Amino acid sequence: MKQLLDFAFAQLTVCQKNNVTLTTLQIMAKGLQVSFAELLAGGKKVPEWAHRLDDNAIRKRLARIIDFERQRRTLHRYEMAELIGVAEATFTKLERASGNISVDTIAAIAKALKLNPATFLFSEKIPPTADLAVFDKVER
């Protein structure tokens, strides 16, 4: 399994120039029978709750992280867009957790915010999404 993850992560690294999207990653994870988080983190350890995230939950999480970091840094939206290197229209999509975000964009956001690109989406600093809390209640 570790070899498959390493191979998949290597493919993602090569494919980044082709803008692999979250939707494509979800398909890859399903095909490899690993969690979306495992594939996205490139084999780095992630919290147990992260293994239940799908591409939609990742978009929501990224939106929460961007908002958290923008408020923490007391930046206006246009300043945050500039900091992470995207157009304001793209920032609005990120903020609304809409659109099909590429791995390149996620990596660029992490780099601009000086966060670990493999694990920042799964940071305990931002609690798991409310969606997971609902999922946990239904599962019990």
Query: Over the range 48-74, which residues count as b (16 or more CB within 10 Å of their CB) and which as e?
Result: ebbebbbbebbbbbbbbbbeebbeeee
The CA R_g of the chain, rounded to the nearest whole Å, is 15
The pTM (predicted TM-score) of the whole model is 0.75
pLDDT digit string (tens) for 114-128?
988 888 888 877 766
Please state, in angstroms and as integers, the Cα–Cα distance from residue 19 to each residue in 23, 30, 73, 104, following that order: 11, 19, 28, 6
Residue boundaries of the structural domains of the chain: 2-52, 55-127
Quick one: pLDDT band at residue 137, thresholds 50, 70, 90? very low
Q: Which option is the CATH number for 55-127: 1.10.3720.10, 1.10.260.40, 3.40.50.261, 3.50.50.60?
A: 1.10.260.40
pLDDT digit string (tens) for 85-134?
989 999 999 999 998 888 888 888 999 999 888 888 888 777 665 554 44
Report angle CA 134, 64, 31 to the nearest 5 degrees.
65
Please give the Cα distance from 112 to 71 (Å, whole number): 15
Yes or no: say if 57 and 37 are a contact pair by the CB < 8 Å rule: no
Closest CA to 31 of 5, 58, 61: 5
